[in-house]
Amino acid sequence: MRLRTILVLVLVVGLVALMAPDASAQQGRRISVEPRLSYWFPNDADHVFGFGVAGELMFSEWFGLVAAVDFWNFEGDTFSETLSAFPDFDIRDISVGAVFYFMYEGTLNPYVTFGLDYFSIDGDFGGADAGAFATAGVDDTLGWHAGLGVDIALSGNFSVVVEVRYFDASIGVDLSDYEIGDVDVNGFAVLAGVEIGF
């Protein structure tokens, strides 16, 4: 599972790196990096804070591509009875998508975004019933997201970004060789960060 996560991340970084020289050389193109915080409301879990970083490559004033990595730790929380044996549950979300601005070059720049997500999942076993859950595991999974946000320009190279995003995904749980169900992690998240343009 970790090898797949690394390969996806290398692919995303490689694609952005290949496009970056062309984008920076043409007038009207821009590249930006956005460290951000998030607060996620998944259906089968308590609400949780997270953090991440996104990179945005704009091809015009209204259209661009976005790649991001976000991280949430559900330490002490449980998704459902199915996952009650995993008190420390981490999700890493590697996502790629598109962003469409309604307007740009103003102070308030609203946008919509959508894309695909690869959720890499780590769960540390800690249940009382070790005999039953010793070989329990969770599967990495694919999902998608859609969001609506606003880019608030502070200067030519800095802005604050606030976005409401919906995630759609479910986590498969296995016990030995048996699939014992999916856990619904669909839900909304609020993401906020500082965008630094180049």
Give pLDDT tens digits for 85-129. Answer: 666 778 899 999 999 998 766 789 999 999 999 998 876 655 544
Give pLDDT tens digits for 38-55. Answer: 999 888 777 889 999 999
Please tell me the total count of domains within the chain.
Answer: 1
Q: Is the pTM of this model over 0.85?
A: no
Give the residue numbers spanning the domain of 56: 2-197
Give pLDDT tens digits for 117-152. Answer: 999 887 665 554 444 555 556 778 899 999 999 999
pLDDT of residue 26: 42
Q: What is the CATH number of the domain that holds 181?
A: 2.40.160.20
pLDDT of residue 11: 55
29 pLDDT band, cuts 50/70/90, is low
Round to whole Å and give the CA distance between 173 and 139: 6
